Amino acid sequence: MSIKGYIFDIKKYSINDGPGIRTTVFFKGCPLKCWWCHNPESQRKLPEEFEECTFRWHLSHDYENKKRVGSEVTSEEVMIEIEKDVPFYEESDGGATFSGGEPILQINFLNDLLIRCKEKNIHTAIDTTGYTDFKNLELIYNSTDLFLYDLKLMNDDLHIKYTGVSNKIIHANLKRLSDSGNKVVLRIPVVPTITDTEENLDEMIKFIMSLKNIREINLLPYHKSAESKYNKMKKENKLPDLEPPNSEEMNSIKSKFESTGFNVKIGGY
């Protein structure tokens, strides 16, 4: 039986969301409200309509509904799109990545897609905030080849301020997940004056060094590409004047993490 869920985009030929060439499926809905969110259209689970909002993927039979962001789809429909790119996966050791939003928020839909991918020998990755009950991570663990796990702020009060939720369950889940095996790549957003402070970076390194299995660290520089989305969607942009970090700043942070023995990249895969 095919399970239904809500997505807002399918990105083909993605090279930053896991190894190789990938198809990234973006789920609607997220429990976090990060100030620097570059996909504000992901935050609400249900489809939304906006005037002059013409971005994002639509099902072929519903392509004319240009004002709507988000579609209700079946896992079978999503798999049709994923399987179109199998030749690229085979040539590049790529696969399918499930992102968002927070894909685990739609755990049954996600689990069905992961199982279907495994049946087709398609490599799977999940881009997650880690903000979920650990039983959900256990459910999908064997069908997931790679977890792209977000780590943002170590101070809980600051985490609540800038994301809307506590980081306690996120950090606890990361520890348990890393104890389970070598499937975790950490993704750290580098947001000037917020996540790139010496205190936050030092605490982060200390925490990461206490974990058993971290495959790699990706430093993701803040960017301003979502400005037009906030304008079109009439949503508040809480960081309108913040400038992205320059290459010197990014390389300095990269060296800081590398000095402790981690394999570090600026950007995704």
The per-residue pLDDT for range 100-143, each reduced to its tens digit, is 999 999 999 999 999 999 999 999 999 999 999 999 999 999 99
Report, at the CATH architecture level, how domain 4-266 is classified. Answer: Alpha-Beta Barrel (3.20)
Other CB atoms within a 10 A radius of the CB of residue 263 amount to 12
Domain segments of the chain as ranges: 4-266
**Is 90 exceeded by the pLDDT of residue 269?**
no
Query: What is the value of pTM for the model shown?
Result: 0.94
The per-residue pLDDT for range 136-149, each reduced to its tens digit, is 999 999 999 999 99
The per-residue pLDDT for range 82-94, each reduced to its tens digit, is 999 999 999 999 9
101 cis-preceded (ω within 30 degrees of 0): yes
Which token pair is 192? 């000037």
The per-residue pLDDT for range 162-217, each reduced to its tens digit, is 999 999 999 999 999 999 999 999 999 999 999 999 999 999 999 999 999 999 99
Q: Which residues of 91-120 are buried (b: 16+ CB within 10 A; e: fewer)?
A: eeebbbbbbbbbbbbbbebbbbbbebbeee
- CB proximity list for 61: less than 8 A, separation 6 or greater: none
